[in-house]
Structure 1
Amino acid sequence: MDSDTLLQHVISVERRAEDILADKQQVVDLDRKRNANREALRALKRSTDTKTWTCFGNTFIKFSNSDVDRMLRRDQETLNSEITALRDALPTKVNELREMEGKADARSFARLKALSREEVESLLSKQDSQY
């Protein structure tokens, strides 16, 4: 392998590794936003006021509690879907990096996914019907 080919390979490996690290950091950042939204939703439930000041960039606007609640819940759904998409893509990217480095696939529990609520309920209902 000549030096140019080797250099291109190292560059592509480093780019893939940086991409993985960027995705992991983005998951952390999105999770922080999600936790802040949870705190805001809890504070909103405890509030006795009918309207709440809400910050958008550098501007504060007073909205009704129901509007703020709706916006926060919609934002939570968006954050959850973005985090899920990033987490689902990471194992594939890590395996691609391992292949580029000449290592075997990472055959571990990392590829396992938790059962969804519907799957758990289905299993529990089948178990209950057997008894």
Structure 2
Amino acid sequence: MAFAGGSGGDDKILTQIMEVEEAAERLLSTRREIIDLDRRRQSNREALVGLRKVKANHWAGEAAESWLALGNTFICLPLERSIPLLEQDAIRFDSEINKQRSDLKVHLHDLNDKEGGGVLSKSLLGMDLNPLSREETNALRGEIFK
């Protein structure tokens, strides 16, 4: 039983293994949360498409009513109020997913550092890059095509 009495080296190894496991669990937890949020975003998107079809095809138009589930409660709202609510949810889901994806990169780098770098560190070199914004792209095009 090397860990029972434990010398200083054994405790250090055990601590390092525990840190790696905690970092891996944070990474997997973030990944599961992204998957859950993506499923909810897809359901929200399906609901929006359905309500827009009802709005376009229903004889009452925007005055038509829809039932929304808010937690454990169902609420009947006109389409003119329910569609913007779902659009706000879609924006919130997108921003939360993007935040979790950036956190995922941080957790991946943290796990890689705790594991000692190694082979993965070379494959992670471009993981923290962000795409150019629309303004940056337009400025770049303006400079190239002068």
TM-score by shorter chain over 0.5: yes
2:127 to 79, 103, 110: 110
Q: Helix, strand or coil: the match of 1:63?
A: strand
Shift of the 128–3 alpha-carbon distance from structure 1 to 2, 3 Å rule, reads: closer
Label 1:43 to 1:121 Cα distance change in 2 as closer, same or farther (>3 A): farther
Unaligned runs of 5+ in 2: 1-7
Q: By how many angstroms is 1:36 displaced?
A: 0.9
Match of 1:120 in 2: 137
Which residue matches 1:94?
108
Cα distance between partner residues in 2 of 1:32 and 1:117: 28
Q: Say if 1:39 and 1:17 are closer, same or farther in 2 by CA, change over 3 A.
A: same
Query: How far apart are residue 128 of structure 1 and its match?
Result: 8.6
Q: Give the share of equivalent positions with the same residue, in percent.
A: 32
1:44-83 pair list within 5 angstroms: 44-47=51-54, 48=58, 50-83=64-97
Deviation at 1:113, TM superposition (A): 1.9
* Partner-residue secondary structure (3-state), 2:127: helix
Give the number of equivalent residue pairs: 129
Tell me, what secondary structure is at the counterpart of 1:55?
strand
Secondary structure of 1:40's counterpart equals: helix
Letter in 2 for 1:88: S
| Structure 1: stretches of 5+ with no match in the other structure | none
Shift of 1:66: 1.7
Equivalent position amino acid for 1:115 in 2: L
Q: Deviations for 1:8-64, whole angstroms, at most 9, x for unmatched residues?
A: 111111011010011011111111111111111111111125110111233221001
| TM-score, normalised relative to structure 1 | 0.85
Which AA in structure 2 matches 1:27? I
Give the TM-score normalised by structure 2: 0.77
Structure with the greater alpha carbon radius of gyration: 2
Among 23, 40, 46, which residue is 1:39 paired with?
46
The change in CA–CA distance for 1:65 and 1:128 in structure 2 (over 3 A counts) is farther
Aligned-partner Cα distance in 2 for 1:83–1:109? 20
Q: Which residue in 1 is equivalent to 2:11? A: 4
SS of the residue corresponding to residue 62 of structure 1 reads: strand
